[in-house]
């Protein structure tokens, strides 16, 4: 019978099939020739000791034992061109996975996306990076694939439902992602590989009778007697259907404002906010792997750090090893940072959001905006950063130790943030209590990760789109909006996801509940 084994090996053995075979043959006392196949089920790095180990979970098939290569296939989709229509607003992970699930369930999705297709989007990303021009419909957050398309493509989630997570990972593999994502403890895809996967998902939706409309912004939701009737687009066109999945992401402020204006229930929600820190990847490797040189068998090291400072959680967020800091504004007149990495994570720099959890009471100065208080708080910081850095997409920046000492940096070396930096005292970007926590927090981080607190590290501000500043309340079981029948608030923008995988899971769940409601 095939044997399942948990083992710890050196990075070199883990990276080389023949060395691994030799190692395992000794472990199970057979000759290497007797081993027919080794399947790796899980792989993770144990960097707690100086000698770094790779944890593997494997199945060993000896000659004569039944072994079959398994190919991950797409589900059986039905042609839905003449089926009942469901409007899906937003082609991010939530919207796209909702659309696929609807097709699987025999319903026709009409996906409406304000931005361009993945290829068209590239031109607008170039414009924001090189010319400081922000297209309000096509940027790092808006466009086909949503905020996750030009990202690091990290695929881990806090979701405890392994079945749901595995299903999304397998779908991504069926759409062309590497099978490694099923094995790695911390899988990621990378900015260069995501667009093709997204494009293939869209083509599948269209092949089976769904519709995908780009350059189409929803400007109104038609509601009669507290029931959805359809939507209106920026051209005044109406699309009618009485089931609507609203998956517009954390940056769709016009949608939050529309709901608020129409008195469709939304509520303010705390989120996290801070800066994006950049170190050299070499430094992070040396801290995390306790070595001068990472070697060829270990990946660029990530880090994850959490501290309690003045009663608030301060933590690393969306860390991108070997990555680049991106300008993620969605409107002119604001500056926003986030990060991405290519699949090989081979850039010389490592960046991470370092953010502080906010509380509803922090939005008090904006209380007059009611449910939009968090949105206005967020806007005020992004706009202040824009003013401070020179009213372009240049970002306020400061060396890390200088920041902890309230000292404007004499110079800022070139960072991965393409539009450029302006040296400012970063404390000016944030309310005083937040700057104070960040200052204390970086000192604490430096105690846990020796070498992290250095003036070679550059802070960029703000990192402000960590999750939605609004929740759109829905029934916990039916997932339907608490007040409007047929409206399914979905994904990160509605407050039910935080990342690619959890947004995709939520998209599927909304589709399932719509099918359920139609039975
Ligand atoms: C640069 C960057 C890097 C990231 N890296 C990672 C990562 O490595 N791993 C991870 O898990 N998460 C990452 N994230 C977060 C992740 O992208 C989001 O959590 C996820 O995309 C949320 O999915 P969603 O479908 O709910 O919303 P979104 O992806 O935000 O999609 C919403 C879509 O709705 C569209 N839309 C908005 N308003 C309208 C309207 N009025 N009409 C029509 N369409 C509209 C938008 O254009 C957008 O395409 C990153 C985000 C950014 C910006």
Domain boundaries along the sequence of the chain: 3-62, 85-266+474-518, 272-463
- The alpha carbon of 452 is separated from its chain's Cα centroid by a whole number of angstroms, namely 24
Written as six digits, the tokens of 72 are 């991950």
Closest approach atom of ligand 1 to CA 112: 43
Nearest C-alpha neighbor of 302 from the set 284, 324, 323: 284
pLDDT of residue 161: 75
Residues with CB under 6 A from ligand 1: 89-95, 112-115, 140-143, 146-148, 151-154, 217-218, 247-249, 252, 254-255, 318, 326, 328, 338, 340, 491-493, 497, 499-500, 503
Distance of alpha carbon 262 from alpha carbon 215, whole angstroms: 24
Q: Which residues contact 405 (CB under 8 A, 6 or more apart)?
A: none
Q: So what's the architecture of 85-266+474-518 in CATH?
A: 3-Layer(bba) Sandwich (3.50)
Q: What is the chain's length?
A: 519
Closest approach atom of ligand 1 to CA 144: 49
Q: Which residues contact 28 (CB under 8 A, 6 or more apart)?
A: 3, 5, 60
Neighbours of 77 (CB within 10 A): 17
Distance (Å) of CA 449 to CA 307, 435, 446: 12, 21, 5
Distance of alpha carbon 486 from alpha carbon 230, whole angstroms: 10
Nearest C-alpha neighbor of 346 from the set 328, 324, 326: 324
Q: Using DSSP, state whether 442 is helix, strand or coil.
A: helix
pLDDT of residue 152: 86
Ligand 1 midpoint to CA 86 (Å): 20
Nearest C-alpha neighbor of 353 from the set 303, 403, 389: 303
pLDDT of residue 434: 98
Distance of alpha carbon 486 from alpha carbon 86, whole angstroms: 10
Helix (H) or strand (E) holding 205: helix 194-207
Tokens 């909304």: give the residue.
510
Distance of alpha carbon 275 from alpha carbon 422, whole angstroms: 14
CATH fold of the domain at 3-62:
Alpha-Beta Plaits (3.30.70)
Whether residue 143 contacts residue 116, with contact meaning beta carbons closer than 8 Å, is answered with: yes
Phi, psi (deg, nearest 5) at residue 146: 70, -155
Whether residue 91 contacts residue 149, with contact meaning beta carbons closer than 8 Å, is answered with: no
Q: Which residues of the chain have pLDDT under 50?
A: none
Q: Give nearest CA residue, ligand 1 atom 41.
A: 218
> In the beta sheet, which residues pair with residue 229?
none
Q: Using DSSP, state whether 406 is helix, strand or coil.
A: coil
Closest approach atom of ligand 1 to CA 216: 43
Closest approach atom of ligand 1 to CA 498: 19
pLDDT of residue 41: 96
Written as six digits, the tokens of 78 are 């039905």
Ligand 1 midpoint to CA 336 (Å): 14
Q: Using DSSP, state whether 398 is helix, strand or coil.
A: strand
Phi, psi (deg, nearest 5) at residue 340: -140, 165
Written as six digits, the tokens of 147 are 């905020």
Q: Give nearest CA residue, ligand 1 atom 17.
A: 148
Q: Same topology for domains 3-62 and 85-266+474-518, yes or no?
A: no
Whether residue 286 contacts residue 449, with contact meaning beta carbons closer than 8 Å, is answered with: no
Is pTM, for the whole model, over 0.95?
yes
């Amino acid at each position: 019978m095939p044997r399942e084994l948990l083992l710890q090996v050196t990075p070199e053995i883990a990276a080389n099939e023949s060395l691994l075979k030799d190692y395992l043959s000794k472990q199970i006392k057979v000759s290497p020739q007797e081993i027919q196949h080794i399947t790796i089920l899980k792989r993770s790095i144990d960097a707690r000791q100086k000698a770094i180990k790779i944890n593997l979970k494997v199945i060993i098939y000896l000659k004569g034992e039944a072994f079959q290569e398994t190919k991950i296939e797409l589900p059986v989709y039905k042609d839905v061109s003449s089926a009942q229509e469901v409007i899906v607003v937003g082609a991010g992970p939530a919207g796209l996975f909702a659309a696929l699930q609807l097709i699987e369930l025999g319903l026709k999705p009409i996906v409406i996306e304000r931005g361009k297709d993945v290829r068209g989007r590239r031109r607008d990303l170039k414009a924001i990076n090189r010319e400081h021009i922000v297209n309000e419909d096509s940027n790092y957050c808006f466009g086909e694939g949503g905020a996750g398309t030009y990202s690091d493509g990290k695929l881990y989630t806090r979701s405890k439902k392994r079945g749901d997570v595995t299903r999304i990972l397998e779908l991504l593999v069926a759409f062309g992602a590497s099978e490694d994502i099923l094995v790695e403890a911390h899988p990621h895809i990378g900015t260069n590989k995501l667009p093709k996967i997204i494009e293939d998902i869209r083509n599948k939706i269209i092949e089976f009778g769904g519709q995908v409309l780009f350059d189409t912004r929803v400007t109104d939701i038609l509601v009669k007697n507290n029931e959805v009737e359809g939507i209106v687009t920026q051209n005044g066109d109406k699309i009618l259907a009485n089931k609507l999945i609203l998956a517009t992401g954390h940056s769709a402020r016009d949608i939050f404002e529309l709901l608020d204006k129409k008195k469709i229930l939304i509520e303010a929600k705390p989120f996290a906010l801070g800066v994006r820190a950049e170190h050299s990847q070499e430094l992070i490797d040396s801290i995390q792997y306790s070595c001068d040189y990472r070697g060829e068998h270990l990946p660029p090291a990530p880090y994850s750090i959490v501290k309690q400072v003045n009663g608030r959680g301060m933590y690393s967020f969306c860390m991108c090893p070997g990555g680049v800091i991106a300008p993620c504004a969605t409107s002119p007149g604001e500056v926003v940072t986030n990060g991405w990495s290519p699949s090989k994570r081979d850039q010389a720099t490592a960046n991470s959001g370092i953010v502080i959890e906010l509380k509803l009471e922090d939005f008090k100065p904006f209380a007059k905006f009611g449910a939009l208080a968090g949105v206005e708080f967020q806007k005020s910081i992004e706009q202040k950063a824009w003013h401070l850095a020179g009213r372009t997409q240049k970002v306020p920046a400061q060396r890390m130790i200088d920041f902890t000492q309230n000292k404007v940096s004499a110079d800022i070396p070139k960072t991965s943030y393409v539009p450029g930096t302006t040296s400012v005292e970063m404390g000016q970007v944030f309310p005083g209590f937040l700057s104070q926590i960040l200052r204390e927090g970086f000192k604490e981080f430096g105690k846990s990760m020796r070498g992290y607190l250095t003036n070679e590290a550059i802070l960029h501000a703000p990192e402000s789109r960590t999750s939605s500043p609004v929740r759109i309340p829905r029934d916990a079981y039916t997932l339907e909006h608490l007040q409007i029948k047929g409206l399914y608030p979905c994904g990160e923008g509605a407050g039910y996801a935080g990342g690619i995988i959890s947004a995709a899971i939520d998209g599927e769940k909304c589709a399932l509940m719509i099918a359920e409601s139609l039975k």
